Amino acid sequence: MTLRRRPVLAVIGIGSALEPALGALCVELGRAVVDAGFRLVSGGLGGVMEAASQGARSAAAYREGDIVAILPSYQGDSANAFADIVIPTGLGIARNVLVVASADVVIAVGGGSGTLSEIAIAWQLGKPIVALGAGAGWPAELGGRAIDDRRDDLIVAATSVAEAVARARELVPGMS
């Protein structure tokens, strides 16, 4: 028996329907996240969250329990079909704090105001952040920047799924 916990990676991004290319990229991202040894956490709804969770299910390393959905409502049924573990918080927008607080590292792809708030909160909580620019939106704008001067690092800009996941692994102590 080992008490060491598996590292957790949060994928954050837009919740609305994705264009096919971005959807395929997010599926690839979710698969790579689990195959890299992470458990996946997300906000549990549609768009980037659903595509990444779908990809996680298709990973070679996937085992039941690897995909966590932290929902804004009390309705567990609102989770996408790929979530293994559902936390229906009933907290509305405040659930965004929990998504990033649960993670050892965050990958942001696409996304608007919700994603921007999650990036800002992840920064406040000291979580390393990788921005995958392919999805445009705030991650594309913030990659390579600091949000404020409380931290010495930057949001890491990545241009491919493989690079994003490799950088995420480097940012979690003990993974690489």
How far apart CA 22 and CA 19 sit, in angstroms, is 5
Contact between 42 and a copy of itself by CB under 8 A: the answer reads: no
d(C-alpha 62, C-alpha 6), whole Å: 13
Does 144 participate in binding a copy of itself (rule CB under 8 A)?
Answer: no
> Contact between 149 and a copy of itself (CB under 8 A)?
yes
Q: Helix, strand, coil proportions of the chain in percent (round to 5)? A: 40, 20, 40
Token pair in block for residue 156:
């890491």
Residues 70-99 that bind a copy of itself (CB under 8 A): 70, 74, 81-94, 97-98
How far apart, in whole angstroms, are the C-alpha atoms of residue 39 and residue 21? 24
Hey, what's the torsion of the CAs at 81, 87, 88, 92, to 10 degrees?
-110
Q: How far is the CB of 173 from a copy of itself (least distance, A)?
A: 13
Q: Of 43-51, 56-64, 155-163, 166-174, which part binds a copy of itself (CB under 8 A)?
A: 56-64
Query: Which positions touch a copy of itself (CB under 8 A)?
Result: 1, 3, 5-6, 8, 39, 57, 63-66, 68, 70, 74, 81-94, 97-98, 101-102, 112-114, 116-117, 120-121, 123-125, 137, 147-150
